[in-house]
Amino acid sequence: MKAATLAVPAAWRRAWESGVALGSAIAEGVALARDLGNTPPNQATPEWIARQARGHARRWGAAIRVLAEPELKRRKMGGILAVGGGSANPPRLVRIDLGRRGPVVALVGKGVTFDTGGISIKPAAQMDEMKWDKMGACAVLGILEAASRLDLPVRLRAYLPLAENMPDGAAYRPGDIVRCANGKTVEILNTDAEGRMVLADALTWAASENPDAMVEYSTLTGACVVALGPTGAGLFSPSDGLASGLLDAAGAAGERLWRLPLWPEFLAEMKGSHADLKNSGGRWGGACTAAAFLSQFVGQVGEWAHLDIAG
C-alpha cells in the first residue's frame, strides 16, 4: 500500500481533524462488525461472541455482564433457552453499558450465530449464509466501537441475545409452548422463526430498564427481502419522531431505510390458539407480522424501533 501525504491549509485544519476522527471511528466500527460477522460458525459460537464483547468492553471502559444458562433460567428467559436448547454451544445474553451522560438509548441486536432452522430445517442451498444471522449483534458492537471513539453525549445500553439454532433431541419443536421473560406464552409453529424468540427476552430486559429510546437490529425475515430486495432495510416504529430521525440518519449515511406499517391486523394475525401468541403468521406481510410480534415485548417504551436488516 502506498502512503499519501495530505497538505491541509491552516484554516481548514480543525475541520479536517474533526472529519478524520469521525471517519476513522465509523470505519473502525464497520470493520469490527464485518470481522465478527464473517467469522465462521464453528469459531463464532455464542460463548466466543460473548468473549469478544467482553474484551472490547474492557477496551472501551464499558461495564459488561454475560448471562449463562443458569441465570437465563432464573430470569425465565424461555425464548433464548428454547432456541439454544438443541446446540452443543449453549446460549448467552450480553449486556454492555457505555457512556456516562446524556439520554439512555438501548440497542438490541439479534445474534443467532448459526441458523439451521432447527427441527423446521432450512433447505441446503445457501444455508452457509446463515453464519450472518448474527449481524444484528455484530452491528450493535460496531456502533459501540464507533461511539467509544467519539465520546458521544449518550448512554448506550446494548443487549445481545446469542444462540445457535440446531436440531437435536433437546431442540424445541413445533407444537411447543414457550414462556418468555415477560410472562407471555408463545405457541411454536415454526422453529425457523427463532430470531423473534431470542429478541423477546432481550427486549423485555432492555425495556424493564426504562430507556429513553430503544432501537433493535435483526436479520429477521426473508419476507422483508422479498419486499425491499437486498438494497434496503425495513423500519418499524410507532413513533413518528424516532422514525423520522432514523430515516434522516440513514439518508445522511447513504443507507436505505423504508418505513413499513404496524397495523393492528398484523398483531391479530400473531395471536395464538393455545398461547398468548404464535411465533409464525401466515404467508402475507411476514415482515410486518414479525414486527407486530416484537411489539409485545417492549413494555412501556413508546420510543422504539425495529430494523429488519435481513436484506
Catalytic residues: 122, 196
Residue 80 CA: distances (Å) to CA of 83, 112, 199, 241:
5, 10, 8, 31
Longest dimension (CA), the chain: 70
Task: Please count the CA atoms within 13 angstroms of the CA of 182 that sit on its side-chain side.
Answer: 23
Task: Give the integer Cα–Cα distance in Å for 307 and 236.
Answer: 6
Contacts of 38 (CB under 8 A, 6+ apart): 131
The pair phi, psi for residue 229, each rounded to 5°, is 75, -170
Integer Cα distance of 164 and 174 in angstroms? 17
- The Cα–Cα gap between 132 and 134 comes to 5
C-alpha cell at 92: 448467552
Exposed, middle or buried: residue 13 (CB in 10 Å: 0-12, 13-18, 19+)?
exposed
**Of 80, 67, 33, 24, whose CA–CA distance to 52 is shortest?**
33
CB burial of residue 34 (10 Å; 0-12, 13-18, 19+): middle
For helices 46-60 and 135-150, the axis angle rounded to 10 degrees is 10
Q: In what order do the strands lie in the sheet with 177-179?
A: 177-179, 185-187, 277-278
User: Percentage helix, strand, coil, to 5, in the chain?
Assistant: 45, 20, 35
